[in-house]
Homo-oligomer: A and B are copies of this chain.
Amino acid sequence: MWGIELQRHEDLTLARQIYQTLRVQMTAGQLQPGDVLPATRELARQLAVSRNTVYEAYEMLSAEGYIVSRPGSKTRVAPGLKLEQPPLAVETAPQLQPAYSYKADFKTGQPDLRCFPKHLWLQLLRRAAEQAPAAEWGYTGPAGLPALRAEIASWLLRSRGLTVLSQNIFVTAGATQALHLLAELLCVEGREIIVEDPCHSGMLRVLEQHGGHIRPVPVDHQGLQTENLHGKQACAVYVTPSHQFPLGGILPAGRRTELIRFARENDLYLIEDDYDSEFRYSGPPVAPLCSMDPARVIYVGTFSKILFPALRIGYVILPPDLHSSWRQLRTYADVQNPPFEQAALAEYLRTRKLDRHVQQMRRIYGHRRQVLLHTAAGLFGNTWQAWGDAAGLHLALEFPGRRFDQDFARHCKEKGIRITPVEQHSICKGRHLAKLLLGYGHLDASEIISGIRLLHDHIQKQV
């Protein structure tokens, strides 16, 4: 009756089914403007449903303006409902999750999640949520929880000797978001962002997203070659001075001084991305560039690599003149971080559990790095050299005379090896063809050894 076929569908009420069928008939033109609808009693009888059900369906149609009914007169279809063509069908093929399983997976930037003290973390998280005052279930502000900002300040002093006021620390949803908002904050139409070349291709995309013009400046074994900094057209410089990504150099003091001078002369900000300097194996973490001039350097830190990526907590240290624009930007970007993870992290820092975890992981990662170097030496002889400072979760290896390009990476993938040519992070192509990047943080010793063996076999065959 009326083309309505009711189904005892567990998720859709009968009223909703009646409503939907009639609605489709009106927009498709089967029911025309002015057409009279049956009385609720009548339709209920025909469909063998209660009169209330039909009444509810009519109420919905009426609230949304599909039908017009006045006391004492019949219920009619409203005018102007027909759409010229039916809505396009929206269909896509089901998404296939590429569950590709590598035999040797040297992807970069991956901490070992197996070593993270999950149980302890979950305890802290539960306690933080249980103890959170009611207000923390509402909006707690774009800067982050005060307790976490204070603990980050204290952690920066302990781990890097960096003195920073907690009010200059702004919590973010990871380092990516920090950079995303900084690009929005600092980008000026027609001016350039200076970046290292090579530079993390993901971060480069973040900076480009805002239409920033990118000016690459080459990198050597000591990081950014500051003698190539010039031009008055820049609005910011993005650097990784503690451990250049991907080549691993520590920016030396002289170049740091030049960078600061350049920033002052050109009235711009330096963005210092300190993505993994906790894990330095030959000494304490390098001092942040930020300590040389906190009014010119914006420091970006993250806990993704120390704890786990899913945490989504990072931070920026901002000079006071940027605070209010930052608050606005963050508010209108995504309001704030969820509070419970923030509170749990504050407690993890306050009780020095983070310090102990970093210490332990530094030992583990340092050992893995040794295993990698040792295995490579055994298999590749003296045909290669390692780049950069002994730090972080990845290593750049150079094989002079070799050519590692996209094709090489693809062939590796076919053999079950995930590996990144440095070239993939190069802006001006062709200068780093002989270098490969190997992430080792997430692999244990035996995985590293078998991985390097696979890689060796593959490279040998190519000759």
How far in angstroms is the closest Cβ of chain B from A345?
12
Chain B residues positioned under 8 Å from A130 (CB to CB) = 122
Known: A173-B173, A254-B65. A338 touches B320 (CB 8 A): no
A312 vs B137: C-alpha distance in the bound complex, in angstroms?
10
The answer to whether A339 touches B320, judged by C-beta atoms less than 8 angstroms apart, is: no
Chain B residues positioned under 8 Å from A255 (CB to CB) = 65
Q: Of the candidates B177, B287, B296, B332, which one forms a contact with A176 in the assembled complex, judged by CB atoms under 8 Å apart? A: B332
The answer to whether A351 has its CB under 8 Å from any CB of chain B is no
The answer to whether A113 has its CB under 8 Å from any CB of chain B is yes
The answer to whether A92 has its CB under 8 Å from any CB of chain B is yes
A63 vs B286: C-alpha distance in the bound complex, in angstroms?
8
**Binary flags per residue of A1-34, CB closer than 8 Å to B gives 1, else 0:** 0000000000111011001100100110000000
The answer to whether A444 has its CB under 8 Å from any CB of chain B is no
Chain B residues positioned under 8 Å from A48 (CB to CB) = none
A176 vs B83: C-alpha distance in the bound complex, in angstroms?
31
Chain B's closest residue to A55 (CB) is: B283
Chain B residues positioned under 8 Å from A38 (CB to CB) = none
The answer to whether B94 touches A253, judged by C-beta atoms less than 8 angstroms apart, is: no
Chain B's closest residue to A20 (CB) is: B161
The answer to whether A341 has its CB under 8 Å from any CB of chain B is yes
Interface residues of A in 298-356 (CB under 8 A from B): 308-312, 319-320, 323, 328-329, 331-341
The answer to whether B158 touches A11, judged by C-beta atoms less than 8 angstroms apart, is: yes
Chain B residues positioned under 8 Å from A73 (CB to CB) = none
The answer to whether B110 touches A138, judged by C-beta atoms less than 8 angstroms apart, is: yes
Chain B residues positioned under 8 Å from A462 (CB to CB) = none
The answer to whether A225 has its CB under 8 Å from any CB of chain B is no
Chain B's closest residue to A334 (CB) is: B177
**Binary flags per residue of A123-164, CB closer than 8 Å to B gives 1, else 0:** 001100110001011111000000000000010011001000
Interface residues of A in 53-108 (CB under 8 A from B): 56, 59-60, 63-66, 78-84, 87-88, 90-92, 94-95
The answer to whether B64 touches A173, judged by C-beta atoms less than 8 angstroms apart, is: no
The answer to whether B177 touches A81, judged by C-beta atoms less than 8 angstroms apart, is: no
Interface centre among A78, A94, A161 (most CB of B within 10 A): A161
A258 vs B309: C-alpha distance in the bound complex, in angstroms?
46
The answer to whether A261 has its CB under 8 Å from any CB of chain B is yes
The answer to whether B284 touches A56, judged by C-beta atoms less than 8 angstroms apart, is: yes
How far in angstroms is the closest Cβ of chain B from A289?
10
Chain B's closest residue to A168 (CB) is: B90
Interface centre among A59, A80, A335 (most CB of B within 10 A): A335
The answer to whether A19 touches B334, judged by C-beta atoms less than 8 angstroms apart, is: no
Chain B residues positioned under 8 Å from A129 (CB to CB) = 118, 122, 125
16 new A-B contacts at CB < 8 Å, known A176-B331, A180-B332, A310-B339? A16-B284, A65-B254, A65-B256, A78-B253, A80-B257, A81-B257, A87-B295, A92-B165, A92-B323, A122-B129, A125-B125, A125-B340, A173-B335, A176-B334, A205-B332, A312-B337
A-B pairs, top 6 by smallest CB distance, nearest first, are A65-B252, A177-B334, A87-B293, A80-B254, A65-B253, A66-B253
